[in-house]
Structures are given as C-alpha cells and as structure tokens.
Amino acid sequence: FFAMVASHGHGVGQAILDYALGPGQHPQYHLPTLPNEVAFMQSAFQDLGGLFGLLIMLLCLLCAAQALLYGLAGHMSHRKAQPSVPSDHGVKHLAVIMDGNRRYGKHKYGVAAKGHWDGGQTLCDFIDWSMEFGISILTVYAFSTENWNREPAEIKVLMSIFQQFSEKIHATALAKNIRVRFLSSYPDPLPDHIQALVHSIESSTDHCTAFTLNVCLSYGSRGEIVNACQSLARQVLQGELRPEEIDEARFGRALLTGGLPDPDLVLRTSGECRVSNYLLYQLAYSELSFLDKPWPAVTRQDLMDILSHYSRRQRRFGK
C-alpha cells in the first residue's frame, strides 16, 4: 500500500518543491524516480531535513491518499452506473424495425447509401448481442413492399448491400448454429440471384438450433394476412378444411411466422413511433420500444438498456 501511495505522491512532492523554490531552482532536492519508494522517503528526510521534510512527506501522502480514494469512489460509481441485463429479462422473441439508415448516411457521409452499409454492419453486431443476452429469435424488417417505390438506382444499391451482408451472415450462421429464414409476402420483384441466395441460405441453415434470425424481405403485413386468408380459402374450396375449423391458432400457422411465438418486444429506431405495416397480427400484445437514434448508431449498451427496461414491465395481455 505504501509503495502505491508513494508512487502517486512523488509527482505531488515535486510540484510542491517547484512551487516553494521555483521551477528548476532545487536540483539538490530533486525527487528520485520511483518505484524506489524507500529511497524516496529516505531522500525526503535526508535532503530536505527535519520538520520541513516531514511536512513535505505528510502532504504527499495526504494528496496521494485523497487521489486514491477519489479514484476508487469514481471506479465504484462507474461500475454501479453500468446497468446489467437480468438473466430472466423475458425477451425470447425480439422484432426490430431497422429505421434511419438513409438519414444517418446523409447526415454523416452526405451519401444515403453509406448509411445502409453501416446498418448492415450493425445488424451483424446486433445478432451477436442478441445471442449474448439470451434472446432466441430475432426478426428484422430489412425491406418492405413499399420500398419498391424508391428510385431504381437506390434499390439496386440496396440489393447489392443486401447480398454482401447476407453472405456474411450466412458464414456466421453456419459457424454459430443460427437458423436463417427470409419472410416475404411479395417475392416476385426480387432479382433472381437474390432469390437463389435466399434459398441457399435457408436450406443450408435449416438444421441449426441455437438461434433463429428472420429477415423480412419484400415484406408487408397486410399482404401477408391476405396471403394467409387465400391459403385457408383454397383449403376450404378443396375440401381439406371446414370454415369453422379456422381459429386464431390455425390462422397464425398460415402466416409467414407460423410455428414461432409472437414477438415479446418490438423495437423501432430513429425516433419514429409507428409500426409501418410490420407484423400487424403478431404484435397484438407485444411491448413496444422506440429508440431515438438511427439504426446504424445502435450500440450494445442500447440493447442492454432496452432489455433492462423491459424486465421491469408488467405484461397484461389485454387483461
């Protein structure tokens, strides 16, 4: 302990000498270089002599002790300020509307497309964080059916970025036992090479069990609901199903998320407070969280805060 105190006090003692005698005016009193704390103490008494040396030493020790106490207190308060994620936070299925890529890109780079690229990297990181914190299913809104109304040049860039990050996620999925599914209510406009890539990723990760990633691509919830209704209607027409057999559970199985639990929590970034035709049937009793920062700027700490806040909510499911 004395060694640590003396090491912090050395600079203080030198400063006191500078102040008392003037900078560079006390070569005979130059304090020795630590960590030879014993030599420092001896030289303080021998060179400075008697009461003055003792006073200097006491001041050094007092300042060093105070600095150590402040440092320790600051370290402890910093540790307390770091919120932890309860292991039983309760989020098994997290759905995310990854909003704000274009605005982020324009603001940071002056180019919207760069925001989409950064958003892809954030998704890769977010998958790791979700697995780290015990989430089992992550469903992300990557490209809506309404996005086809954007400029062709932007769509081409988006498809290129999607392809590159899908290949990266594919490699991660195989390494980490992640099942990847692509949910599309309107797949027809997707380029052939994208459809082939989607099929390849789904088939090669279908056996994976550690985590499920659902990527909503060319997706709209109203279209998904209409498709489910048409599928059930065909089964009725073909005599495979009676109308009275259609209940909430059967209808849920006809959706693209059939077989999965509904999202516990829906997160939307960029400060917008709407669901934008996303999982309208599935999020009937989901908790909603809105984060006032664009998707590419989301951090691990943001997810920790969101899960910690969710753990304090009381879900009533309409009761």
The catalytic residues are 99, 147
Residue that the structure tokens 């691990």 belong to: 300
Rounded to whole angstroms, the Cα distance separating 178 from 126 reads 13
AA letter at 312: R
Beginning with the edge strand found earlier in the chain, give each strand of the sheet holding 93-97 in spatial order.
Answer: 178-183, 211-219, 137-144, 93-97, 265-268, 287-290
Which residues on neighbouring strands pair with residue 217, listed in sequence order?
143
Peptide bond into 35 cis (omega under 30): yes
- 3-state class (DSSP) for residue 22: coil
- Which residues on neighbouring strands pair with residue 141, listed in sequence order? 97, 216
Under 8 Å between Cβ of 145 and 218:
yes
Is residue 290 classed exposed, middle or buried when 0-12, 13-18 and 19+ CB atoms within 10 A define those classes? middle
